[in-house]
Structure 1
Amino acid sequence: MYMTRTRLEGSLAFVTGGGGGIGLATAQALAEAGARVILAGKNEAALQTAAEALSRAGHDVRYVLLDITQSDACTETSERINRDVGPVDILIANAGIAWSDTPAEEMSDDTWTHVLDVNLNGTFWTCRAFGKPMLEREKGAIVTVGSISGLISNKPQRQAQYNASKAGLHHLTRSLAGEWAPRNVRVNCVAPGYVNTTMSSVTIKDPKFSVPWMAGTPMNRMVEPEEVASANLFLASPASSGITGAVVTVDGGYTVW
């Protein structure tokens, strides 16, 4: 009984930021659980490579180009996918950017706005676009990808814009969960810590960052994308049917202190 609750046969999943890192690992997890998967993002070469690799492994995976900062594009893409491919049952709102170590007093308006546009506004546009048809069908699971930076103010990097965007995303998740639960659409969030992805590859090589990061992590290591993907899979599947509005940390214990 319990193992079958993680199965996703017959489901269609849409994964933003699906060309690599956490998004690609999550797409593979969902596909292995039996879902059809659509990858979305701005880098067509990365999306095509990812989709082809998963397809060669026997999974039903395709991709679409999408800039989540464009509200109209999110709406149009959702309408087209739901009409032409099938109703989207699962949304993984994973797309996001990091912009570390920018002193607040020196931060430009463009830097602040760009990070908020992608991480917070873009996540809302995506959730709204794909959540509306879920609400009409009274069926759906949405997982947003936040960060421990939405729970704490990291050190030593200075990143007020990133921290604010992820804190807003966490509260957006809770707000949508409360609104949409009566119509059987669950909304949860996974908050990773320091993850071994290309996004982190530059800063983790700098002892200025890596030494304090690992010193503050009880497991004394970075989290792997597959470990975050496993949490995303759980929250997207019927195994978590009684959970909504949760923010689940996958951080090697970083936020316990």
Structure 2
Amino acid sequence: MPPIDRTSIHRKFDLSGKTALITGGGRGIGLQIALTLQQAGAGIILTDADGSHLAEAADQFPLKPQVYQLDVTNSKAVGDLAAKIASCPDIMVNNAGVSRAAPTSQTTDEDWRTVLSVNLDGVFYCSRAFGCLMAQRGSGAIANISSMCGEIVTRQQSVVTAYNASKAGVNMVTKTLACEWARFGVRVNAVAPGFVQSEMTGKYPDEVVNAWSDQTPMGRLGQPHEIASAVHFLASDASSYMTGTILLVDGGYTCW
């Protein structure tokens, strides 16, 4: 029996020589994704709507990333950034996202529009600007950050109509673009996290967070690095025959 070629296996996960652009990368899951992709060898382009988050985040990287303040809801700003960057990134992670938790009766037009604008419009604008360039080049990988809430309504957090609708939209955008750009060498996938320990979930009271853990087969919330590892997989050649996939990383929550 021939020996296992571990070098070949590791090479599939190596991102050396590639560049990755991450939106909403100033903190939380986005920052962890950026750090993980740099550890895998990628050059990092970090964007966030909050300039102060960017400045703090940049100091955490062994190799200084390129940083750009970017509002993903502004299609012109997204297009301007695509024109400004010297060459189209090899990897794009659409991570920027927000949530507004309230019963539908208390969800304002502004709340609805904000969530849909950031979570769904932002994914479309960034994918259109950078994905089209990838298609012209003939290669690229896009990883969208969706949510298990794009597929189900959770029991302890069912009052997030706008968030759930936006993530369901992200899933369909992912599948549609995957079909459109597959013949041009561009893969488009999404990671759908369950409940993850982050700034967003940290806003909820302990009894709600404990309920989420109890309702998850693994008995705990996920960690940002566990989501980042899934993104790394989808960005790498290890997932070369995957496109249009919504990869659940939810501790088994959706299995019940």
8 A contact 2:82–2:88 mirrored in 1: no
Output the CA distance in 2 between the equivalents of 1:87 and 1:77. Answer: 10
Output the CA distance in 2 between the equivalents of 1:89 and 1:26. Answer: 15
1:49 aligns to 2:56 (yes or no): yes
Paired residues in the alignment total 248
Counterpart position of 1:155: 155
2:75 is matched with which residue: 50, 71, 74?
71
Cα RMSD for the two superposed structures: 1.0
Output the CA distance in 2 between the equivalents of 1:87 and 1:24. Answer: 20
Counterpart position of 1:110: 110
Q: Percent identity?
A: 42
Equivalent residue runs for 1:10-21 within 5 Å? 10-21=17-28
The CA deviation at 1:202 is 1.7
Equivalent residue runs for 1:220-231 within 5 Å? 220-231=219-230
Counterpart position of 1:169: 170
8 A contact 1:6–1:238 mirrored in 2: yes
8 A contact 1:190–1:231 mirrored in 2: yes
1:25 aligns to 2:8 (yes or no): no
Deviations 1:134-163 (A, max 9, x none): 011011000000001101012222111110
Output the CA distance in 2 between the equivalents of 1:124 and 1:193. Answer: 22
Output the CA distance in 2 between the equivalents of 1:98 and 1:112. Answer: 9
1:214 aligns to 2:218 (yes or no): no
Output the CA distance in 2 between the equivalents of 1:169 and 1:193. Answer: 15
The CA deviation at 1:51 is 1.2
Output the CA distance in 2 between the equivalents of 1:143 and 1:72. Answer: 22
Output the CA distance in 2 between the equivalents of 1:155 and 1:116. Answer: 22
8 A contact 1:31–1:60 mirrored in 2: no
Q: Secondary structure at the match of 1:155?
A: coil
Counterpart position of 1:184: 185
* Aligned amino acid, residue 187 of structure 1: V
Output the CA distance in 2 between the equivalents of 1:87 and 1:147. Answer: 27
Deviations 1:144-198 (A, max 9, x none): 0000110101222211111000001011100100100010000000001111111
The CA deviation at 1:132 is 1.1
8 A contact 1:186–1:244 mirrored in 2: yes
Q: Secondary structure at the match of 2:141?
A: strand
User: Is there any run of 5+ residues in structure 2 with no aligned partner, and where?
Assistant: 1-7
The CA deviation at 1:60 is 4.3
Structure 1's consecutive aligned runs of 4 or more residues displaced over 2 angstroms after TM superposition are none
Output the CA distance in 1 between the equivalents of 2:88 and 2:50. Answer: 25
Output the CA distance in 2 between the equivalents of 1:156 and 1:197. Answer: 17
Counterpart position of 1:234: 233
Q: Secondary structure at the match of 1:198?
A: coil
TM-score, L = length of structure 1: 0.94
Counterpart position of 2:89: 88
Output the CA distance in 2 between the equivalents of 1:43 and 1:117. Answer: 16
Counterpart position of 1:196: 197
Output the CA distance in 2 between the equivalents of 1:211 and 1:227. Answer: 19
